[in-house]
Structure 1
């Protein structure tokens, strides 16, 4: 839903800049960070409606970041968006509480639809 706060977590700075612009243009309030550690710091400071999380990142990878997010006990839905996906990582992410799993490249319309569905679930509309 436009106006929703989205935390975009991906180590590819060009990707986060471009995706941030596209989502902002569609009315989302986007904060982009380039590491799992930075994502946890942002989540400790502010509330987000949806997190879009990459799996393969240096330092704290996406699965470890997802585990840390779950420990925080937030009412935030997490979408996994990765270029390095496999069925095993998808299953692991879903078992850990991820809302959905998408692979790059991903069309902006598909990502927006998933963000909206995750927001609806968060708000109890699904």
Structure 2
């Protein structure tokens, strides 16, 4: 198979990795799966990758700690961070450490591909200050985290109807173009 991009996949969930690898292969993209820090760093020693999907939580190890190590080995590597438990604080930290994007699971293959493509078309957008909508989303996430993910308690703290908060959470869980 001839591919233009080689992808490094780093996640401790073997089933997720297998599904993701097959989906990328169907897109004619070669993907190598690794399950932890050591495997990911070893893969970088033997091959050059253009893109990386990095899980935030690697069986107790932090993907945020691995991120700069990956970039130190291959500075041109574009890293997209995935997490099952998104927060603005970790998204900001991932971007500060060099990630090109940050998405919350579950995601589709289209969302992953778009996560890289949108940045290639308009990289200057990352330098702009956050919009009012983004600031509202950050505040919602902060309050949601303070209430351990309890939507009802978060809605009360925000003086917002629970259904309104649920709609906002659903809207932001989908990838926006």
TM-score under structure 1 length normalisation: 0.86
Superposition RMSD in Å: 1.9
Deviation at 1:103, TM superposition (A): 0.6
Distance 1:3 1:71, change over 3 A: closer
The 1-side partners of 2:96 and 2:106 are apart by 23
Distance 1:95 1:110, change over 3 A: same
The 1-side partners of 2:120 and 2:10 are apart by 17
The 1-side partners of 2:111 and 2:59 are apart by 26
Structure 2: which 5+ residue stretches go unaligned? 123-177
Distance 1:104 1:38, change over 3 A: same
Bigger Rg, which one: 2
- Deviation string 1:67-119 (CA, Å, 9 cap, x unpaired) is 21133252111000111221111100000110000110012111122234466
1:78/1:100 contact within 8 Å kept: yes
Counterpart mapping for 1:1-126 below 5 A: 3-58=4-59, 60-117=61-118
The 2-side partners of 1:85 and 1:41 are apart by 28
The 2-side partners of 1:101 and 1:114 are apart by 8
Number of residue-to-residue matches in the alignment: 120
- SS at 1:110 equivalent: helix
TM-score under structure 2 length normalisation: 0.62
The 1-side partners of 2:74 and 2:44 are apart by 11
Structure 1: which 5+ residue stretches go unaligned? 122-126
